[in-house]
Copies of this chain bind each other. A is one copy, B any other.
């Protein structure tokens, strides 16, 4: 398999390309949301789609998130494959009832008769200097809702591949786009886009022997940076990018932890009741006898997301990750 890296592309560009290719491939795919049409979305991810496919395929809706998701449900009932954009993480909350009580359950409640192939794109997380209500990490809510897939890319190629897979899925997918990676660039050839990346498989982004950093989305680059920095301490860290929170790839994660015997879960989302608890608990259940130390967590604080000027203290950074690695009871080894 050769990947021709013609020029670097941003994650936002890869997402746009994924939407465009999906729309071209399947007339049932409809993009809808606030400002997605003429403007191309506040992050420009839907740029050009209304022009290319018409306003009926890429529609500026009225400003009402429950209405957006609720009408998408009806459209999916009639055989369309809506791709909904929520403008920011916190602005998806008005649609929570539609999501939990309908989107997540429709297949189950109708005994499989009425699947809802809806993709809900949610730009999430902080680190972009956004004011209040623009930097939430809301994945814990989605993870706790059976019936949803929850997916989040950390690379340009995955952004393309996973979004294609999400749109192709016959189940609803909450597709979490790390805001601060929108402009991250990668050598990726947009004209030879990577094939669809199946949902549900974690990937080892960096191999290591000393301990595993389990992470996803916006925290992946931070963990890779931490792993580089850790070499100075003599630690060789493995970094697992989950890519899909639901379904969860126990196999890849546990294989890594069994190898290293130590793990730290890293995410921006608040720690208490956040994804890290689930991840640490299930890794411990499955790898207890391989663990030299408890699985630790490095997460956002259990506070509302702070204002831009203070967010750097909230976000898990390299130092905080290395401090946690240092707490993995290395003395037990010697």
A331 contacts the other chain (CB 8 A): no
Q: A144 contacts B274, CB within 8 Å?
A: yes
Instruction: Tell whether, in the assembled complex, residue B104 and residue A304 are in contact, meaning their CB atoms are under 8 Å apart.
Output: yes
Residues of B within 8 A of A52 (CB): none
Q: Does A277 lie at the interface of the complex (its beta carbon under 8 Å from any beta carbon of B)?
A: yes
In contact, B304 and A109 (Cβ under 8 angstroms): yes
Binds B, one of A35-43, A228-236, A251-259, A289-297: A289-297
Which residue of chain B is the closest to A274 with respect to CB atoms?
B144
Contact for A96 among B96, B104, B277, B293, CB less than 8 A: B96
Number of interface residues of A (CB under 8 A): 49
Cβ–Cβ contact A132 & B146, under 8 A: no
**Interface check A284, CB cutoff 8 A:** yes
Chain A stretch 276-328: residues in CB contact (< 8 A) with chain B: 276-282, 284-285, 288, 291, 293-297, 301-304
In whole Å, how far is A249's beta carbon from the nearest beta carbon of chain B? Answer: 13
Chain B neighbourhood of A133, CB < 8 A: 101
Query: Given A97-B94, A144-B273, A146-B270, are A281 and B297 neighbors across the interface (CB < 8 Å)?
Result: yes
A288 to B246, CA, bound (A): 27
A141 on the interface (CB 8 Å rule)?
yes
Among B100, B280, B285, the residue within 8 A (CB) of A90 is B100
Choose from B278, B280, B284, B285 the contact partner of A272 (Cβ within 8 Å): B278
Which partner residue on chain B sits nearest A275 by CB separation? B273
Inside 8 A of A19's CB, which chain B residues have their CB?
Answer: none
Docked complex Cα distance between A186 and B143 (Å): 37
Q: How far is the CB of A133 from chain B (nearest CB, A)?
A: 6
A252-B204 Cα distance, complex, nearest whole Å: 38
A53 at interface (Cβ–Cβ under 8 A)?
no
In the complex, what's the smallest C-beta–C-beta distance from A210 to chain B, in angstroms?
Answer: 18
Within A32-88, the residues touching B (CB, 8 Å) are: 66
With both chains docked as a complex, state the minimum distance between the C-beta of A29 and any C-beta of chain B, in angstroms: 26
**Does A149 interact with chain B (Cβ within 8 Å)?**
no
Nearest-Cβ distance from residue A311 to partner chain B, whole angstroms: 14
Residues of chain B lying within 8 A (CB to CB) of residue A97: 90, 93-94, 96
Chain B residues contacting A294 (CB-CB under 8 Å) are: 284-285, 288
Contact call B146/A144, Cβ cutoff below 8 A: no
Q: Which of A123-158 contact B (CB under 8 A)?
A: 132-133, 140-141, 143-147
Contact of A277 among B66, B278, B296, B303 (CB under 8 A): B278
> Please, which residues of chain B bring their CB within 8 A of the CB of A141?
141, 144
The chain B residue with its CB closest to the CB of A246 is B272
Tell me if B277 and A248 are in contact (CB < 8 A). Answer: no
A-B pairs with beta carbons under 8 Å apart, 20 shown: A66-B94, A93-B96, A93-B100, A94-B96, A96-B97, A104-B304, A105-B304, A109-B132, A143-B273, A144-B144, A146-B270, A248-B272, A272-B278, A274-B278, A280-B280, A280-B281, A281-B295, A284-B284, A285-B296, A288-B294
A interface with B by C-beta (< 8 Å): 66, 90, 93-94, 96-97, 100-101, 104-105, 108-109, 132-133, 140-141, 143-147, 246, 248, 269-270, 272-282, 284-285, 288, 291, 293-297, 301-304
